[in-house]
Amino acid sequence: MFADAMTFIETATRRPPRELTTGTAVPFEVLTEVAPTRGQGSALSIRGLVKTFDQEPVIKGLDLDIPAGQFVAVVGKSGCGKSTLLRLILGLETPTSGSIEGVGATGGTARFIFQEPRLLPWATVADNVAVGLGRSGSRTSRRKAALKALSEVGLDGRGDAWPAVLSGGQRQRVALARALVSHPRLLALDEPLGALDALTRISMQGLVERVWQDQGFTAILVTHDVSEAIALADRVLLIDNGRIALDLAVDLPRPRRRGTPAFAALEKTVLDTLFGFEGGEAI
């Protein structure tokens, strides 16, 4: 596990800094056929978004623009509506009012990674990954794509295993491969690493950063771990009371080292804003 983390740190340092340029839109079908190493993220534009559950407003008029390919982290107290926001963006919930433009409009796919891996226990690892391909492709091409996605998340040779025999971290890697196999233009992650132990978490964070750099999708990561948000994201959003309470750009060079003064300062800004709401109480 620790060796994993070290390998990631080494590979990540060798990578050139990521550029945030926007190219012309490529249709999703073309993307899957040529299977490029780097695709195109989708930009997102949210205006006046409101979501009400049983007369109880959860999102209260939210405006947000996310440029293509940006890595955004969303933090906030439990129950503040982070998951609801992701589900709205992915179209799993319908907005009470307001608009979300970008995901459907650009014609690309959006994928969701849940806190739990949610693998089908009765399907092999490769078949689970192939779920991400929908109904497209022949049997052999699906399997090929699945095995390739598996090797990208460091699970070479585990294609024929049952999910039951994998560790928690490995299962979440399979979930990541399943999300990535269709080369999505938007990847939403809802506390995907929350259930993992600390070391596995660090190596998974590295993996997420690496695939994001490789594939260039737009990433929205919900997390309760402020240092994880700052380590990975270009931008940290703090949600409170149904609105964006803090929109913080993170300009640190990648790969980021925790514990540097700049890192700590950003972490403090976020934590102070969080604590401020409760008058000093812990989240």
For the record, the structure tokens of 127 come out as 């078949």
Query: Of 111 and 256, which has the nearer Cβ to other proteins?
Result: 111
> Of the two residues 32 and 223, which places its CB atom closer to Mg ion in the complex?
223
- Say whether residue 223 binds Mg ion (CB under 5 A): no
d(CA 63, CA 237): 12
Among 40, 42, 70, 84, binds ligand ADP (CB under 6 A): 84
Q: Which stretch binds ligand ADP (CB under 6 A): 52-60, 166-174, 230-238, 244-252?
A: 52-60
Would you state the structure tokens that stand for residue 149, as one six-digit string? 């996605």
| Shorter beta-carbon distance to other proteins: residue 83 or 213 | 83
Type of residue at 114: F
Backbone angles phi, psi at 242, to 5 degrees: 80, 5
The bridge status of strand 71-76 relative to strand 235-240 is: parallel
Residue 35 region by backbone torsions, left for phi larger than 0, else alpha for psi between -120 and 50, else beta:
left
Q: How far is the CB of 233 from Mg ion (least distance, A)?
A: 17
Q: Which is nearer to ligand ADP, 224 or 254 (CB)?
A: 224
Quick one: 72 or 130, whose CB is closer to other proteins?
A: 130
Q: Is 79 in the site for ligand ADP (CB under 6 A)?
A: yes
* ∠ CA 269-47-106, rounded to 5°: 105
- The entry of ligand ADP, Mg ion, other proteins, none that residue 78 binds, CB within 5 to 8 Å by partner kind: ligand ADP
Q: Is 82 in the site for ligand ADP (CB under 6 A)?
A: yes
Is 44 exposed, middle or buried (CB count within 10 Å of its CB: 0-12, 13-18, 19+)?
buried
Question: Using CB distances below 5 to 8 A depending on partner kind, what does residue 253 bind out of ligand ADP, other proteins, Mg ion, none?
Answer: none
* 188 binds ligand ADP per the rule CB under 6 A: no
Tell me which residues in 73-92 interact with Mg ion (CB under 5 A): 83
Tell me how many helices (H) and strands (E) the chain has.
9, 9
Residue nearest to ligand ADP (CB): 83
- Among 43, 73, 80, 238, contact with ligand ADP (rule: CB under 6 A): 80
Which is nearer to Mg ion, 32 or 83 (by Cβ)? 83
Q: How much helix, strand and coil, in percent to the nearest 5, is found in the chain?
A: 40, 20, 40
Helix (H) or strand (E) holding 246: strand 243-249
The C-alpha atoms of residue 122 and residue 94 are separated, in whole angstroms, by: 32
Site residue total, ligand ADP (CB under 6 A)? 11
Q: Is 102 left (phi over 0), alpha (psi -120 to 50) or beta?
A: left
Q: Which chain residues interact with other proteins by CB under 8 A? A: 90, 92, 111-112, 114, 116, 118, 120-123, 131-132, 134-135, 162-165, 178
* Least distance in angstroms from the C-beta of 127 to other proteins: 9
Q: Beta 71-76 vs 218-222: how paired, if at all?
A: parallel
124 binds Mg ion (CB under 5 A): no
Residue 127 and residue 214: Cα distance in Å, rounded? 24
Give residues in contact with Mg ion (CB under 5 A): 83
Give residues in contact with ligand ADP (CB under 6 A): 53-54, 58, 76, 78-84
